[in-house]
Amino acid sequence: MSTLAMFGGRPAVPGGTPPPAWPVITEEDREAVLGVLRTGRFTAAAAGEQEIPALEREWAQRVGTAHCLAVANGTIALSIALTAAGVGPGDEVVVPALSFVGTALAPVHLGAVPVFVDVDPTTFNLDTAQLTAALSPRTAAVLPVHLHGLPADMDEVLAFARARGLVVVEDAAQSHGVAYRGRVTGALGDAGVFSLNVSKNLPTCGEGGLITTDDPALADRAGVLRQFGERLPDRGERPYVSEVAGWNAKINAIQAAFTRVQLTRLDQAQARREENVRRLLTSVAELPGFAVPTAAPDRGHGWHILRFRVRPAAFGLVRSQASALREIVMRALRAEGVAVSRYQTTPLSDQPVFAGRTVASRSLDVPVTRAVLDDSFVLQRVHLNPAAGPVLEMVAQALAKVWEHRDLLARVVDARTRDREPV
Ligand SMILES: Cc1ncc(COP(=O)(O)O)c(C=O)c1O
């Protein structure tokens, strides 16, 4: 058995093997950006600008919705979609407690109130069994998140919402082009929202967002909301009339052009990622110490983030030692050359902005979110490049090596936690 790198052994991923970069930037991407510079038309409001409407058409087609609107980022896309769907000040919006903070900040920016509910321990998505408990007379919308790229249980969310006249906006920021029961995320609710942040599976060179919907009135309102509340005429002079309190949330044409090129490679890149990630997960699933992410046969997975839970019992430890075990496993993996990290460290309801009552919010108990955050670590970005296969094989070897040394790691955890919590 080879020595763990944290105790002086040779790392499983040697220092000279950085993961291939994400996003992949080719000559085509560079040309697309330069092409916009040559036209001199940079914003959605510039007369004759073509890249933004082209991206909107192409993404609507990929998702299968009648309309798409490109905006400045995913967070403002959520605020605009909620507002365009009729959510307003004082309305409650049900959100999962495990997500990126943008999910919960988006309702706040229109004066609405996020209500946090717990997630499922294996999918990490909103636990639909909690929805009834979250209801109040002010409930106006449900905002399910397809976290890490795995579609949430949308049929259950939609059945619940439709029976009560609630709006459903999908936070598909992490699930570009992912299948759910024969359809695609972003085409399931009243509106879908995507982030084009440079870290995402469909990236831009910076920040961007997309709103998809089949509802022409919602699309129309969203267009007005991204442009200072103005309705711009197809041609002729700008009237400078604002109908509603809109935002300036326009995307840049350079960003649209970059994403259009990335979109031509999205499905091919996703197919390669699927192969690479499945190989990694199949091999890690054989190690009883780790629970690996999965997807039910009725849906795909964007594999945007890979979340692994440690299983204290498999290491001969108790549940209360989960967080210490996760910490030592992360240290061991980092020493092996694997860039593991945490994605979110507290439930959203514990973020100072909400827990400190800076803004109004409500939360149910979220024990599953707490347990997941305690005992899990993630791989982000390192697996996104389609050429990441060989690096992921080394990652699998690193996890296997850490598991081989489980008794030693368990003894370290025990020594650290003994005073507080005897086994
Ligand atoms: C689940 C989720 N929701 C919302 C957002 C917000 O998107 P953006 O960063 O483009 O504002 C993100 C992006 O990180 C996200 O991952």
Mean pLDDT of 359-374: 98
* Model confidence at 422: pLDDT above 50: no
Give, for ligand 1, the residue of 79, 98, 100 to mutate: max count of ligand atoms closer than 8 Å to Cβ.
100
Tens digits of residue pLDDT in 32-44: 999 999 999 998 8
For ligand 1, the distance from its centroid to the CA atom of residue 255, given in whole angstroms, is: 16
Mean pLDDT of 408-419: 90
Tens digits of residue pLDDT in 248-293: 999 999 999 999 999 999 999 999 999 999 999 999 999 999 999 9
Atom number in ligand 1 closest to CA 304:
16
* Model confidence at 330: pLDDT above 70: yes
Cα torsion 153, 296, 293, 269: sign: negative
Q: Residue 42 and residue 272: Cα distance in Å, rounded?
A: 33
Tens digits of residue pLDDT in 373-385: 999 999 999 999 9
User: What pLDDT, on a 0 to 100 scale, did the predictor assign at position 423?
Assistant: 43
Same domain, 219 and 295: no
Ligand 1 close to Cβ of residue 125 (< 6 A): no
In a domain, 422, yes or no: no
Ligand 1 close to Cβ of residue 145 (< 6 A): yes
Give, for ligand 1, the residue of 78, 145, 174 to mutate: max count of ligand atoms closer than 8 Å to Cβ.
174
Of 300, 310, 322, nearest to 403 by C-alpha is 310
N-term to C-term CA, the chain: 27
User: What pLDDT, on a 0 to 100 scale, did the predictor assign at position 199?
Assistant: 97
Same domain, 324 and 386: yes
In a domain, 1, yes or no: no
User: What pLDDT, on a 0 to 100 scale, did the predictor assign at position 47?
Assistant: 82
* Model confidence at 420: pLDDT above 80: no
Tens digits of residue pLDDT in 184-227: 999 999 999 999 999 999 999 999 999 999 999 999 999 999 99
* Percent of the chain scoring above 90 in pLDDT: 93
Give, for ligand 1, the residue of 75, 105, 150, 252 to mutate: max count of ligand atoms closer than 8 Å to Cβ.
75
* Percent of the chain scoring above 70 in pLDDT: 99
Same domain, 278 and 251: no
User: What pLDDT, on a 0 to 100 scale, did the predictor assign at position 419?
Assistant: 59
Same domain, 143 and 184: yes
Domains contained in the chain, number = 2
Segments forming the whole domain that contains residue 211:
27-262
For ligand 1, the distance from its centroid to the CA atom of residue 313, given in whole angstroms, is: 34
Mean pLDDT of 154-167: 98
For ligand 1, the distance from its centroid to the CA atom of residue 70, given in whole angstroms, is: 14
Same domain, 212 and 151: yes
Ligand 1 close to Cβ of residue 102 (< 6 A): yes
Ligand 1 close to Cβ of residue 195 (< 6 A): yes
Tens digits of residue pLDDT in 86-100: 999 999 999 999 999
- Domain end, chosen from 212, 228, 262, is at 262
Ligand 1 close to Cβ of residue 100 (< 6 A): yes
Q: What's the CATH code of the domain at 283?
A: 3.90.1150.10
- Domain end, chosen from 262, 286, 306, is at 262
User: What pLDDT, on a 0 to 100 scale, did the predictor assign at position 418?
Assistant: 74
Mean pLDDT of the chain: 96
**Top-confidence residue, 75 or 47:** 75
Ligand 1 close to Cβ of residue 252 (< 6 A): no
DSSP collapsed to 3 states, the chain: CCCCHHHCCCCCCCCCCCCCCCCCCCHHHHHHHHHHHHHCCCECCCCCCCHHHHHHHHHHHHHCCCEEEEECCHHHHHHHHHHHCCCCCCCEEEEECCCCHHHHHHHHCCCCEEEEECECCCCCCECHHHHHHHCCCCEEEECCECHHHCCCCHHHHHHHHHHHCCEEEEECCCCCCCEECCEECCCCCCEEEEECCCCCCCCCCCCCEEEEECCHHHHHHHHHHCECCECCCCCCCCCCCECCCCCECECEHHHHHHHHHHHHHHHHHHHHHHHHHHHHHHHHCCCCCEECCCCCCCECCCCCEEEEEECHHHHCCCHHHHHHHHHHHHHHHHHCCCCCECCCCCCHHHCHHHHCCCCCCEECCCHHHHHHHHHEEEEECCCCCHHHHHHHHHHHHHHHHHHHCHHHHHHHHHHHHCCCCCC
Mean pLDDT of 293-320: 97
Q: What's the CATH code of the domain at 255?
A: 3.40.640.10
For ligand 1, the distance from its centroid to the CA atom of residue 74, given in whole angstroms, is: 5
Same domain, 247 and 273: no
